[in-house]
Structure 1
């Protein structure tokens, strides 16, 4: 019963520590606002900036697993290439070392019991107050819970000694086999807890209490580095080949790095002893372990970073491309990554790429209409042309409906998480854009149906009308390209004026075309044909209206 009580106190303290890490991470992310999302955009620059980005984002998120899971998702969605993702994975491994430094520098070097409750109290008051820096209060509150969790962990260990834990003592006396066994245990612990931070915190606490020595603790940390890859593997199940390769890179990088570290294990420990003054016993061992974790990940990154291209080629050779040229997956699905509940901003970035794809779908539908119009002026089987058009547009319109439904559900899931005010406002802007894009696809399909009806009922538009319609359609195509190019970015004042000019030009052309239709009705031509023509003009103009709505939404972002 004594040992059972110790186990429960350790588990409780560890859970409180992890909760504090989550609250602190949320507070820092809220305070960072769009700056973290801007940092993520640097991923696409080059491998070195990618590594730096991965390091910074992981330090904010406090979870390399969360970042690696989203990287798999980003590659699967086409936001990042495999080569770009590799650099970020390497940087994420460095960023995750901040956990060990927080534990070692704060948890055991000062009287944390004297800091925990004041930090929680002050953080709660700061978070509750109505002022713009309340997010810093949440970060401070998280620090308080971290202190309290560490206090519970250290209080649970004084009764534990190597003599009372015969199993650990025996394992520690097996020479280098003890190190191998330590790596295995660290891997298994992390696989079970899905958190290398939890494993490393527990290891540092056990080492500080004298339960395990420096060598075994270092081996456990190497194992935690391997075990943390499980989340990327799980995220890659059922994804495209590129995403599977990204997960494979994460596994290969961490496993290969750990194997190299085992080969040079004694020199690596000696290097840490050289860098950190003092003996690796008591309080000193916590700093030694934090430095070991940092040196290990830093050296792995420095060794492998120059070979990013070769690493990408290796995993591409091991995992063959089985995707081939496939059509759109039906039904459309966009799963919210629940492995990263504390990082909804990463999910938002992923969804933005899907919205850009939706805009591309709307643009391609309108291009199909534009391509068919000249064919209706000449000879040939017009019925076959418009039937094929309607079939294609119907399939695309149904897919757009699925996208709207899934993206809306996805963003609602995002709003259930803790979002900053900027991110929350961004979600609602994106929901408006999704609505406009889906309405746009409806009108493209409607134009196709009208053209089909005009051919089927033999209400063919006259050459003069078709000649006037082509430049009108071309202006709307220009507006669609403008919107597609600027999705995911703010629109400047000059660009806003350009969008307004496009909208006014489209409206003027619409009025001229309507007058042309009415004059022909007054001249005694077929009324049904001209009414169909006016309806086509109106539907096309609606597409331009939706483009302007989106442009206005993007202006609000700036």
Structure 2
């Protein structure tokens, strides 16, 4: 019974340590995520700058996985070359060692003040960034409390027979220790937490230094496995180059370090007799040496990876999302950027539908009607995929700016999809009916409809620009287009009734068809305005709740 309770106590302490690491990472991502992403993007001029940027950003985020997701998005977009991306990852690997160095000292006494400070900042802070930094302070405090609890629990835990058998295997077979630690890190998704746990075991003498160093190597290997597995479902195999290159770096480094462990271990223990500090120093030294070895060879290594994993040559299904990376969900700002990029594909598909409608109407080509209707299926599938990708986020766990952007993306995609439905169900239906009945609009009427479709294409481009830049001036201009289309419809309606009064029976049907097309095109324009202009104007406080004048007028 005592053994079972001890196991539960240890498991609870480890869970608290993992949760503390998670709180630190998510707090930093929410507070500084977009700023760190911009800093990372600005420092990719050469390999040394990229290495320094990866080190600095990861030292703040304490997650090489988060840094890897950012840099993978840049590489997928073609903003950086593979060698610079690999240099960032080498820097990121060094950056994760810094908090381990800090916590290798006896700083457990500051855990309660950190938690107290964090709670005050989280509960009393008026700014979102202040609350996020409070979350970071709470996470650091929980990590220190968890480490202290692990040390207390380990004393009776050392004599458990099953643990003695396991530790005996680890102590006598470094390769077993490496594989065990790699699997544990893969499950925990945190090399920092696993290495801190190894430090606790080493400080209590539960594992000898030699085995502790092998466990550190395994943690370094395990943290590189998840990005490879998470990128395996992508549409482009080339997206796997960066995480696979990082994994190969780690494999080579672990192999060399494991071969030299019998020589490195005694030297390091002699230099640093404190076991916990020796583990932290070995972790940092391993990543520094690995960076020094691979930085000069990144160019030929990247070319080798490009030959091994060529770009995808077959055209992807246009209805399948290209940028909705499931791994990016760990960083809300990055996931939102991916969803926004996918939303732009919907805008491109809608513009293709507008051109298809124009061709079908102008040339009387029925094959264009079928092709354009198929594009609407692409819009529907992309809209469904984006919604499914974004609706898993908990609004209470996201920053206000991220929640607002998420709503803007959903508003944009929903309206673009509705605009496509109007084109597919209503406007193409009218065009198809016109062709079947052999009806022809006048030259002036036909030119007017084609001019309105061309105007919608321009408005769609303005809609995309407002969605991406959130420019209030451009949003006002786009909103004014709604009134312009309203005036065009009113003028067309008046002309239609004037023809009817004049007794022009032969033109009544084509006049009605002309009016129906204008009304439906106005509906498409209304969706474009609602997709991008209204959210921006509402945020600026420039959107009236109603066009109807309120109050009684005498």
TM bracket, shorter-chain basis: 0.7 to 0.9
1:314 and 2:304 equivalent?
yes
Match in the other structure for 2:390: 411
Please tell me whether the aligned partners of residues 29 and 60 of structure 1 are also in contact (alpha carbons under 8 angstroms): no
Match in the other structure for 2:431: 451
Match in the other structure for 1:379: none
Q: 1:293 aligns with which of 271, 283, 289?
A: 283
1:198 and 2:193 equivalent?
yes
TM-fit CA distance, 1:411: 2.3
- The 1:207–1:138 alpha-carbon spacing in structure 2 relative to 1, beyond 3 Å, is same
- The 1:556–1:298 alpha-carbon spacing in structure 2 relative to 1, beyond 3 Å, is farther
Q: Per the alignment, in what secondary structure is the counterpart of residue 367 of structure 1?
A: helix
- The 1:130–1:61 alpha-carbon spacing in structure 2 relative to 1, beyond 3 Å, is closer
Match in the other structure for 1:259: 255
- Comparing 241-250 and 34-43, the one that deviates more: 34-43
Please tell me whether the aligned partners of residues 324 and 339 of structure 2 are also in contact (alpha carbons under 8 angstroms): no
- The 1:392–1:18 alpha-carbon spacing in structure 2 relative to 1, beyond 3 Å, is same
Match in the other structure for 2:544: none
**Separation in 1, partners of 2:479, 2:247:** 51
TM-fit CA distance, 1:80: 6.8
- The 1:299–1:351 alpha-carbon spacing in structure 2 relative to 1, beyond 3 Å, is farther
Q: Deviations over 1:450-499 (max 9, x none)?
A: 21111112222222222233333222212212333454333254x34554
Q: Deviations over 1:330-373 (max 9, x none)?
A: 6x699783x67753333222222211222222122112223444
- The 1:34–1:325 alpha-carbon spacing in structure 2 relative to 1, beyond 3 Å, is closer
TM-fit CA distance, 1:193: 3.6
Match in the other structure for 2:524: 543
Match in the other structure for 2:353: 365
Match in the other structure for 1:553: 535
Match in the other structure for 1:483: 463
Please tell me whether the aligned partners of residues 324 and 338 of structure 2 are also in contact (alpha carbons under 8 angstroms): no
Please tell me whether the aligned partners of residues 479 and 534 of structure 2 are also in contact (alpha carbons under 8 angstroms): no
Higher-RCO chain (CA-CA 8 Å, sequence separation at least 6)? 1
Q: 1:244 aligns with which of 232, 240, 247?
A: 240
**Separation in 2, partners of 1:521, 1:306:** 82
TM-fit CA distance, 1:126: 3.6
- The 1:37–1:505 alpha-carbon spacing in structure 2 relative to 1, beyond 3 Å, is farther
1:143 and 2:140 equivalent?
yes
**Separation in 1, partners of 2:78, 2:344:** 11
- The 1:303–1:392 alpha-carbon spacing in structure 2 relative to 1, beyond 3 Å, is farther
What CA RMSD, in Å, does the superposition of the two structures yield over aligned residues?
3.9
- The 1:33–1:202 alpha-carbon spacing in structure 2 relative to 1, beyond 3 Å, is closer
Please tell me whether the aligned partners of residues 28 and 136 of structure 2 are also in contact (alpha carbons under 8 angstroms): yes
Match in the other structure for 1:378: none
Match in the other structure for 1:97: 97
- The 1:305–1:135 alpha-carbon spacing in structure 2 relative to 1, beyond 3 Å, is same
1:64 and 2:64 equivalent?
yes
Q: Deviations over 1:508-558 (max 9, x none)?
A: 555555555555555514212111112212222333333333134346678
**Separation in 2, partners of 1:456, 1:52:** 67
Q: Per the alignment, in what secondary structure is the counterpart of residue 185 of structure 2?
A: helix
**Separation in 1, partners of 2:289, 2:466:** 40
**Separation in 2, partners of 1:371, 1:73:** 37
TM-fit CA distance, 1:227: 1.4
Please tell me whether the aligned partners of residues 194 and 230 of structure 1 are also in contact (alpha carbons under 8 angstroms): no
Return 5+ residue gaps in structure 2 as ranges: 541-554
**Separation in 2, partners of 1:496, 1:529:** 35
1:207 and 2:169 equivalent?
no
Q: 2:123 aligns with which of 128, 138, 151?
A: 128
Please tell me whether the aligned partners of residues 475 and 502 of structure 1 are also in contact (alpha carbons under 8 angstroms): no
- Comparing 208-217 and 495-504, the one that deviates more: 495-504
Equivalent residue pairs, number: 530
Q: Per the alignment, in what secondary structure is the counterpart of residue 350 of structure 1?
A: helix
Please tell me whether the aligned partners of residues 319 and 377 of structure 2 are also in contact (alpha carbons under 8 angstroms): no
Q: Per the alignment, in what secondary structure is the counterpart of residue 325 of structure 1?
A: coil
Please tell me whether the aligned partners of residues 358 and 453 of structure 2 are also in contact (alpha carbons under 8 angstroms): yes
TM-fit CA distance, 1:409: 3.2
1:468 and 2:448 equivalent?
yes
Q: Per the alignment, in what secondary structure is the counterpart of residue 413 of structure 1?
A: coil
Q: 2:211 aligns with which of 187, 212, 216?
A: 216
TM-fit CA distance, 1:428: 1.5
- Comparing 443-452 and 310-319, the one that deviates more: 310-319
- The 1:492–1:52 alpha-carbon spacing in structure 2 relative to 1, beyond 3 Å, is farther
1:189 and 2:173 equivalent?
no
Match in the other structure for 2:514: 533
**Separation in 2, partners of 1:415, 1:135:** 15
**Separation in 2, partners of 1:348, 1:118:** 35
- The 1:400–1:82 alpha-carbon spacing in structure 2 relative to 1, beyond 3 Å, is farther
Please tell me whether the aligned partners of residues 236 and 244 of structure 1 are also in contact (alpha carbons under 8 angstroms): yes
TM-fit CA distance, 1:430: 1.7
Match in the other structure for 2:333: 345
1:152 and 2:149 equivalent?
yes
- The 1:230–1:171 alpha-carbon spacing in structure 2 relative to 1, beyond 3 Å, is closer
- The 1:51–1:329 alpha-carbon spacing in structure 2 relative to 1, beyond 3 Å, is farther
Q: Deviations over 1:403-431 (max 9, x none)?
A: 33332233221135610111112212222
Return 5+ residue gaps in structure 1 as ranges: 376-381
Please tell me whether the aligned partners of residues 27 and 138 of structure 1 are also in contact (alpha carbons under 8 angstroms): yes
Q: 1:281 aligns with which of 249, 273, 294?
A: 273
- The 1:148–1:476 alpha-carbon spacing in structure 2 relative to 1, beyond 3 Å, is same
Q: 1:395 aligns with which of 354, 371, 374?
A: 374
**Separation in 1, partners of 2:85, 2:445:** 52
Please tell me whether the aligned partners of residues 33 and 420 of structure 1 are also in contact (alpha carbons under 8 angstroms): no
TM-fit CA distance, 1:396: 2.2
Match in the other structure for 1:21: 21
Q: 2:344 aligns with which of 356, 371, 380?
A: 356
- The 1:287–1:532 alpha-carbon spacing in structure 2 relative to 1, beyond 3 Å, is farther
Mapping for residues 324-343 of structure 1, pairs under 5 Å? 324-329=314-319, 337=326, 343=331
Please tell me whether the aligned partners of residues 120 and 141 of structure 1 are also in contact (alpha carbons under 8 angstroms): yes
Q: Per the alignment, in what secondary structure is the counterpart of residue 488 of structure 1?
A: helix
**Separation in 1, partners of 2:170, 2:48:** 41
Match in the other structure for 1:10: 10
- Comparing 303-312 and 252-261, the one that deviates more: 303-312
